[in-house]
Amino acid sequence: MVSVVTTQAGKIQVLTLDEREQLLPMLRSTQWAEVVGRDALYKEFIFKDFNQAFGFMTRVALQAEKMDHHPEWFNVYNKVHITLSTHECGGLSKRDITLATFIDQVSVL
Model confidence pLDDT, tens digit, residues 56-108:
999 999 999 999 999 999 999 999 999 999 999 999 999 999 999 999 999 98
Q: What is the pLDDT of residue 11?
A: 85
Question: For residue 42, is pLDDT > 60?
Answer: yes
49 is a catalytic site residue:
no
Distance CA 11, CA 9 (A): 6
Domain assignment of residue 1, yes or no: no
* Any domain includes 72: yes
- The whole-number average pLDDT for the span 34-61 is 98
Whether 72 is a known active-site residue: answer no
2: in domain:
no
Number of domains forming the structure of the chain = 1
| pTM of the predicted model as reported, rounded to 2 decimal places | 0.88
Q: Which of 19, 34, 39, 88 is catalytic?
A: 88
**Does 87 qualify as catalytic in the annotation?**
yes
pLDDT of res. 109: 75
64: domain CATH number is 3.30.1360.20
Residue 16, by phi and psi: left (phi above 0), alpha (psi -120 to 50) or beta?
beta
Is 81 part of the annotated catalytic residue set? no
Catalytic residue among 21, 44, 70, 72: 70
